[in-house]
A and B are shown apart, each in its own frame.
Chain A
């Protein structure tokens, strides 16, 4: 990028105007694309604060509401700082990468862009300022550790949560983002894994970490015998609605342009969210004779997760089927599997995010094929399914192993859990000396 700007400078000095226009068009800024990516970045930030924060906050008990909101807010601040110090560089530096060659930099970027070195108002990523791309990708790095919060909610120490989020970002998120998204020479990118907006990087990654986290930290005291109903499903519905809206920034923004690809991503996102809300609700209605509010909101989120990797390559019909499948399957993983296996994934990070992420990442393969209406230019539906499965398997293994290592390390050093009395009191008072509701 820097060399092409040099070329443009040389052209300005030496060549006639028409030739300069041609040379400069390689990295010409597009104000339409830029305007959309500025907007998309804000939409994705809105998914975290307040979207995910309220979605999760409504599902915990009143004594833990502030702790969840605080965790989401604090992660937003922490990840932002880490992102500019080294995160963006480790995820997106293309130093030492060559198409088709697997080396150290296929796994992790270099430190040449640490402290955003080289970033100026003129830096470009494709047709948008690189500053906007840094910001857009930052909002993805923020939401991913935030999603994990739901798995260990109501019992993790705030200090342990901060250490976990920082280490997890560094050793799990940044490498996986690099392996999928950094372009030619990246491990999973070169393998041909399709992940348009982060099904593997964000949702499977976070969902598996959530499962590991709730297993390492252990169940909440009294679960599942004690009554622990959501304290304010109104917040949860508002949060799910903000997630749904923000997801257009997440998926359509991943086109990094205001073009037909972005338009199609927006459309299939809406379709899959609606189909999954219907899928979850239909199964619930058939089995429990009731259509619940928490169910329809959870179903919509499952559909949004599932269509994320497919949003750049599937047809509207494909999105409909991906959504229906994700909604119906996640109903069972969130409402049955957890109790069958006895792990206390408080807000179903595994049951919704990992499972819908896996369903979506796998179905992205076949639905990218022209034979099934897709636009992915893939060799065949079955072949791409196999490539997707390899990407899913790799991400599960990477996230599970490194998340376990980080959590065990923290448990042995500073400890992960609050003590029994603090857990009973609620994290709002025990950890922050505040109460969400002072009603009397």
Chain B
């Protein structure tokens, strides 16, 4: 099992969700986050007070998938979240040791 964490542009969420659903992903967690990478922030100017806004709003998607699903899920995110401009985000993949569904106590693949 794999744990996918993707940082994407907020306006891409609907497209990414649909693509992931087509790829067989059955659930995800979405969080509004702020951060920076290669895309620098912007400046704001109020009566001469200039502020550099370093942290830009992004969405963080967290998805647990089986080993067979992981490639398709990555393709779904990378294909739909991409605009070609700096700031499209990143996908992090790491090994996932254990999953437990609280209602039924099922574990691992059955719990995904």
In chain B, positions 16-46 with a C-beta closer than 8 Å to chain A are: 44-46
- Alpha-carbon distance A339/B44, docked complex (angstroms): 16
In chain B, positions 34-93 with a C-beta closer than 8 Å to chain A are: 44-49, 51
Q: A288 contacts B45, CB within 8 Å?
A: yes
- For B47, list chain A residues within 8 Å (CB): 294-295, 298, 334-335, 348, 351
In chain A, positions 219-244 with a C-beta closer than 8 Å to chain B are: 224, 227-230
Taken residue by residue from 44 to 72, chain A's Cβ proximity to chain B (1 for < 8 Å, 0 otherwise) reads as: 00000000000000000000000000000
**Chain A residue with the shortest CB-CB distance to B48:** A335
Asked if A383 is at the interface (CB within 8 A of a chain B CB), the reply is no
- For A336, list chain B residues within 8 Å (CB): 48
Q: How many A-B residue pairs have CB under 8 A?
A: 26
- Alpha-carbon distance A211/B51, docked complex (angstroms): 24
For A288, A335, A348, the residue with the greatest tally of chain B CB atoms inside 10 Å of its CB is A335
- Alpha-carbon distance A290/B43, docked complex (angstroms): 12
In chain A, positions 342-366 with a C-beta closer than 8 Å to chain B are: 348, 351
- For A288, list chain B residues within 8 Å (CB): 45
Q: B48 contacts A334, CB within 8 Å?
A: yes
Asked if A292 is at the interface (CB within 8 A of a chain B CB), the reply is yes
In whole Å, how far is A298's beta carbon from the nearest beta carbon of chain B?
A: 7
Asked if A408 is at the interface (CB within 8 A of a chain B CB), the reply is no
Taken residue by residue from 293 to 322, chain A's Cβ proximity to chain B (1 for < 8 Å, 0 otherwise) reads as: 011001000000000000000000000000
Q: A292 contacts B45, CB within 8 Å?
A: yes
Asked if A338 is at the interface (CB within 8 A of a chain B CB), the reply is yes
Q: A230 contacts B46, CB within 8 Å?
A: yes
In whole Å, how far is B31's beta carbon from the nearest beta carbon of chain A?
A: 15
For B45, B46, B47, B49, the residue with the greatest tally of chain A CB atoms inside 10 Å of its CB is B47
Q: A339 contacts B48, CB within 8 Å?
A: yes
- For B48, list chain A residues within 8 Å (CB): 334-336, 338-339
Q: A290 contacts B45, CB within 8 Å?
A: yes
- For A290, list chain B residues within 8 Å (CB): 45
- Alpha-carbon distance A227/B47, docked complex (angstroms): 13
In whole Å, how far is A327's beta carbon from the nearest beta carbon of chain B?
A: 13
- For A230, list chain B residues within 8 Å (CB): 46
- For B51, list chain A residues within 8 Å (CB): 227, 229
- Alpha-carbon distance A311/B71, docked complex (angstroms): 74
- Alpha-carbon distance A288/B46, docked complex (angstroms): 11
- Alpha-carbon distance A330/B46, docked complex (angstroms): 14
**Chain A residue with the shortest CB-CB distance to B44:** A229
- Alpha-carbon distance A230/B49, docked complex (angstroms): 11
In whole Å, how far is A239's beta carbon from the nearest beta carbon of chain B?
A: 15
- Alpha-carbon distance A228/B48, docked complex (angstroms): 12
**Chain B residue with the shortest CB-CB distance to A347:** B47
**Chain B residue with the shortest CB-CB distance to A59:** B46
In whole Å, how far is B87's beta carbon from the nearest beta carbon of chain A?
A: 21
**Chain B residue with the shortest CB-CB distance to A352:** B47
In whole Å, how far is A180's beta carbon from the nearest beta carbon of chain B?
A: 30
In whole Å, how far is B80's beta carbon from the nearest beta carbon of chain A?
A: 30
**Chain A residue with the shortest CB-CB distance to B51:** A227
> Could you say which of B44, B45, B49 contacts A224, with CB atoms under 8 Å apart?
B49
- For B46, list chain A residues within 8 Å (CB): 229-230, 292, 294
- Alpha-carbon distance A224/B46, docked complex (angstroms): 12
In whole Å, how far is B32's beta carbon from the nearest beta carbon of chain A?
A: 13
- Alpha-carbon distance A292/B51, docked complex (angstroms): 14
In whole Å, how far is B30's beta carbon from the nearest beta carbon of chain A?
A: 17
- Alpha-carbon distance A229/B51, docked complex (angstroms): 8
Question: Ordered nearest first, which 6 A-B pairs have the shortest CB separation?
Answer: A335-B48, A227-B51, A335-B47, A334-B47, A229-B46, A294-B46
What are 7 A-B pairs with beta-carbon distances under 8 A? Answer: A229-B46, A292-B46, A294-B46, A295-B47, A298-B47, A334-B47, A339-B49
Beyond the given pairs A229-B51, A292-B45, 4 more chain A to chain B contacts, judged by CB atoms under 8 angstroms and listed by A's residue number, are A229-B49, A292-B46, A334-B47, A336-B48
